[in-house]
Structure 1
Amino acid sequence: MDSSRLPVPPGVDDRWQVSDRLGHQLIRVMRAMERAKAGKGVGPDGVERAAYVLLARLVLEGPRRSNALAESVHSDPSTVSRQVAGLVRAGLVERRPDPEDGRATLLAPTSEGLRVFEANRDRRNNQISEMTAHWAESDRHRLIELLERFAGDIEQRLAPSPTPPSAALRGQEAS
């Protein structure tokens, strides 16, 4: 359905209509991505696709503790722990002693993890390049700028708000 022809409730302004069209297009993109990944829960290396997000974060941002990794991908620590265990078993991530705290460990990509990350990134970039080959270079750059801006706004809006100091203290007192 052409989103410009969707019924419009009475009394809405142009900004609402533009947001409605944008929302419709975002849904189309998300559904297309879901269809493309359907049935592909495990990558060619036998690792869950969701775990690749963790591998990518470790490659791009460096070693970190499991809890910090979970926080950086806005995921539950137990889910991240399970996915990290799969990455470790696959030889893509290793646990290293934390130089700042000998009792803790840092997660870091292995050389095989770097190879797998690069192979996945190359595959993704080739697909995007093929899909946008007929676009003007300026349109591709403009899309990047707009998506970076939109992603930043989403992250800022949807990021969990920090716990107020008084609530954090009450939580400590209860332990």
Structure 2
Amino acid sequence: MTTDAAESTQDAGVPPQPPSPATSAEPRPSAGGADLPAELADAIIGLVRQYHSLRVRINDGKDVDAPPQMAVLGRLVDLGPCRASVLAEALLSDPSTVSRQVAGLVKAGWVDRGPDPVDGRAAILSITEAGRQRWVEHWRRRGEALAPVVERWSDEDQVDLARLLRQYTLDVDRHWDEVVTAFRKPPAAGPGA
């Protein structure tokens, strides 16, 4: 971002853009040669940081149109009618957090909460037609926002990236417990420890 652009966004009440976590398209040098999983992790962490930074700049999370609520709508589109516990698990989120998000979506008329025909004590969540229309609009706007980023990319590159990101997220889901365990493992003692 240029200095003029940074000043104009600050004048408009928009916080300045943080430095990019990925300063180069080149992989970072690794001590003993190529460490592809570590380089991949570094690139993904940069992507996640950018995503979180954009979420903060776009919305404070209190609006029903906020990304977390849109994630709930999108997952309901994928899952179809389901219990809140199933939705929370699919979102890898705490049930109480999902419950608060769903309450706002019910109030907005985008989600219905109806009785579970199998267990009357439980509720089944389903997206309403208004919610589905809102999700489609959000999905379209997301694509429009990203279009300038990939405008010089070939269609093939865009398709490849989307396919690889989907493959990555599915594989992380499959190996969730292993990934969590690996990150929680204390680091090996290095030289001088």
Normalising by structure 1, report the TM-score.
Answer: 0.76
Assess, with a 3 A threshold, how the Cα gap between structure 1 residues 5 and 129 changes in structure 2: closer, same or farther.
closer
Counterpart amino acid of 2:165?
A: L
Identity %: 33
Residue 88 of structure 1: aligned partner: 106
Q: Residues 102-141 of structure 1 correspond to what in structure 2 (within 5 A)?
A: 102-141=120-159
Counterpart amino acid of 1:36?
A: L
Question: For the aligned residues, what is the CA RMSD?
Answer: 2.5
Q: Contact conserved, 2:64 with 2:104, CA < 8 A, in 1?
A: no
* Distance in structure 2 (CA, Å) of the matches to 1:141 and 1:2: 22
Counterpart amino acid of 2:97?
A: T
Assess, with a 3 A threshold, how the Cα gap between structure 1 residues 35 and 128 changes in structure 2: closer, same or farther.
same
**Offset of residue 159 of structure 1:** 4.8
Matched, 1:54 2:72: yes
**Offset of residue 22 of structure 1:** 2.2
Gaps of 5+ in 1: 161-175
Assess, with a 3 A threshold, how the Cα gap between structure 1 residues 157 and 5 changes in structure 2: closer, same or farther.
closer
* Distance in structure 2 (CA, Å) of the matches to 1:49 and 1:21: 28
Aligned length: 156
* Distance in structure 2 (CA, Å) of the matches to 1:119 and 1:147: 22
Residue 165 of structure 2: aligned partner: 147
* Distance in structure 2 (CA, Å) of the matches to 1:130 and 1:4: 22
Assess, with a 3 A threshold, how the Cα gap between structure 1 residues 135 and 2 changes in structure 2: closer, same or farther.
closer
Q: Contact conserved, 1:47 with 1:90, CA < 8 A, in 2?
A: no
Normalising by structure 2, report the TM-score.
Answer: 0.70
**Offset of residue 5 of structure 1:** 7.0
Q: Contact conserved, 2:64 with 2:105, CA < 8 A, in 1?
A: no
Assess, with a 3 A threshold, how the Cα gap between structure 1 residues 49 and 149 changes in structure 2: closer, same or farther.
closer
Residue 28 of structure 1: which of 35, 42, 46 is its match?
Answer: 46
SS at match of 2:60: coil
Assess, with a 3 A threshold, how the Cα gap between structure 1 residues 6 and 114 changes in structure 2: closer, same or farther.
closer
**Offset of residue 108 of structure 1:** 0.9
C-alpha distance after superposition, 1:90-137 (max 9, x if no partner)? 221111122333332211112221121111001012223332121112
The structure, 1 or 2, with the larger RCO (C-alpha pairs under 8 Å, 6+ apart) is 1
